[in-house]
Amino acid sequence: MNKVSRPEDKNSGSREDVPAIQRLKADAAEARMRRKEFYASLFPANELALTGLFLSVAFLFQKSLPAKSVMLAFFIGASWFAGRKFSLLATLIVAGTIIAANLLVPFGKVLYQTGPFIVTEGALLDGVDKAVTFEGLMYLSKSSILPSLKIPGAFGAVVARSFLYYDRIVENRVKIRPATLLADADALMLDIWDSVTVQTSQEITKTGSFPEVHGMRLTDSRLDESNTEKVYRLSPQGRLLGLGIPALGAFLLLFFLR
Amino acid sequence: MFSEPASGHARFKNKADITALLGAFCFFLSTIEYMIPKPLPFMRLGIANLPILLAVGLLPFKWYLLLALVKVVGMSVISGSLFSYIAIFSLAGTLIAAVAMWIAHRLGGRLITSVGVSIAGAITSNLVQIIIARVIVFGDAATLIAPLFIGMGLITGTALGLFAEKFTLSSRWFAAAREASRE
């Protein structure tokens, strides 16, 4: 008589592995969140953004490809330290697409040829330079822009309110089904509209229900300057770094623009 | 910026609130778009422009342009791409699409539906992004992907326009927001 295997038997070999993989993923996510929080507590958001701005100009005007590649490696490291997601595959796909597109217009010394496809030195170097620049700016930006960045002025206030609404949308439990898409979307808009606009910014301060973006809390200082709660308290060292890092960025900018 | 109410539960549904809510939906739709697999990493479906399309008949030009800027800056802060080429693509694509949709809506009047307005925005946005891609990333090869980009713009522009057309006619929120924006 043939043995009839139960459905769970089919997966019995990998069943033990699944929790281990999930555990590894959970540990990695937790470690990333810890890095994210530590990074945010180390650097003041606005000064870090200013430094990123200086460095982006220095990076753009860097003519040496090896130096640019070293800077890219540093930015990837900084982005990892900042708790940003890093995917080697996605990075390689984007870089590969840029290089491949540039190879389609050949110029310079022919390095390799097969059929109509020609790899030329000029097109290859140009493609690599553009790919390194594209990825470098991406990772520099990821490591220098914190979600707690405070945008000043009236424009910043509207952006802050948008984040508040966005938080409610993400939290909302209204289901959107393809069959009733229009009605569900309308219900969601009305629900969000009502859930937020009944609260004044003072009430939000009392309840402490500040919006979270990607797991990081925004302060109500985005809404009202008089009600500022610092979610990330900076250490004295962090404040010193806050002064030091833009100065370092400015120095690097001058150095590379010589 | 916001009209603060006298009592705690009074509502402040004004142009700033409408702009902020539509901006939040831009962030939300951008997040959804980010999760949809694309044949090319630079290709965007443009669904995050839907709130801007809805705002054409809802907000004055100043607030309308502000919404486009909120979308670009907010998404760049969330994704951390504020100083990257992605932000340049997003800024140019969004602003040119917003202006094109506004012009199409104003000039077309009753002769043009949301579908036409949406297609005008999608095509101009994609054209500008191809030009930028040619200058800073792809070089002359950018013209090779142009037909694919324009074709995608036509399809997504039509789909978004159809949705916006039906939504503006049936939505209770849209009717309430239109009333609030007139105050």
Residues from chain B contacting residue A192 (CB–CB below 8 Å):
21, 24
Asked if pLDDT for residue A246 goes beyond 70, the answer is: no
B141 to chain A: closest CA residue: A101
Residue in A197, A218, A222, A226 to test binding to B, most B beta-carbons within 10 Å: A197
* pTM metric for this prediction: 0.68
Tokens 């932000």 correspond to: B87
A242 pLDDT above the threshold of 50: yes
- Structure letter (DSSP) for residue A225: T
Could you tell me if A131 and B171 are in contact, meaning their C-beta atoms sit under 8 angstroms apart?
A: no
User: Which value does ipTM take for this structure?
Assistant: 0.84
Q: Which residue of chain A has the CA closest to B37?
A: A90
Backbone angles phi, psi at A213, to 5 degrees: -120, 120
How confident is the model at residue B6, as a pLDDT? 36
- Do the chains contact at A197 and B166, CB–CB below 8 Å? no
CB-facing half-sphere around the CA of B171: CA atoms within 13 A: 25
Residues forming beta bridges with residue A117, ordered by sequence position? A114
For the beta carbon of residue B71, count every other beta carbon within 10 angstroms.
Answer: 29
Q: What is the DSSP letter of B159?
A: H
- C-alpha distances (whole Å) from A124 to each of A65, A71, A91, A148, A208 are 12, 20, 18, 39, 54
pLDDT at A211: 41
Q: What residues of chain B lie within 8 A of the CB of A54, using their CB? A: none
Q: Which of A64-78, A82-96, A175-189, A193-207 has the lowest mean pLDDT?
A: A193-207
CB A45 within 8 A of CB A233: no
Q: Which of A77-81, A218-222, B4-8 has the highest mean pLDDT?
A: A77-81
Q: d(Cα A251, Cα B165) in Å, to the nearest integer?
A: 54
CA pair distance A72, B47, nearest whole angstrom: 32
Picking from A104, A105, A165, the nearest residue to B24 by CB comes out as A165
pLDDT at A224 over 50: no
Strand-pair category, A110-114 with A216-217: unpaired
The partner residue sitting opposite A101, judged by closest CB among B21, B141, B174, is B141
Would an 8 Å CB–CB cutoff place A52 in contact with chain B? yes
- The rounded distance, in Å, linking the Cα atoms of A158 and A139 is 27
Give the chain B residue nearest A52 (alpha carbons): B83
Q: Please check whether residue A97 touches B, CB under 8 A.
A: yes
Q: Given this model, what pLDDT does residue A217 score?
A: 37
Pairwise CB contact (< 8 Å): A145 & B80: yes
CA angle B125, B128, B133 (to 5 degrees): 120
- The encoded tokens of residue B167 equal 């939504």
Q: Report the alpha-carbon distance of residue B108 to residue A128 in Å, rounded.
A: 46
Three-state secondary structure along A101-115? HHHCCCCCCEEEEEC
Between B13, B70, B84, which is nearest A162 by CB?
B70
Q: Where are the alpha helices (DSSP H) in chain A?
A: 7-10, 12-15, 17-42, 45-60, 65-81, 88-103, 121-144, 153-171, 181-197, 201-207, 236-257
The Cα B41–Cα B133 span in angstroms is 12
Angle at B25 between CA B24 and CA B30, to 5 degrees: 100
The string of pLDDT tens digits covering residues B70-110 is 999 888 887 777 888 888 888 998 999 999 999 999 998 88
pLDDT digits (tens, 9 = 90+) for B30-48: 877 776 666 565 566 778 8
Residues A134/A98, Cβ–Cβ less than 8 Å: yes
Look at residues B21, B67, B32, B175 and name the one whose alpha carbon lies nearest to residue A168: B21
**Helix (H, G, I), strand (E, B), or coil: what is residue A187?**
helix
**pLDDT tens digits, B107-149:** 988 889 999 999 999 999 989 988 988 888 888 878 887 888 8
Give Cα B160 distance to the centre of its chain: 10
Closest Cβ–Cβ partner in B20, B83, B85 for A161: B20
B183/A100: higher pLDDT: A100
Q: Give the angle A98-B98-A186 at the CA atoms, nearest 5°.
A: 105
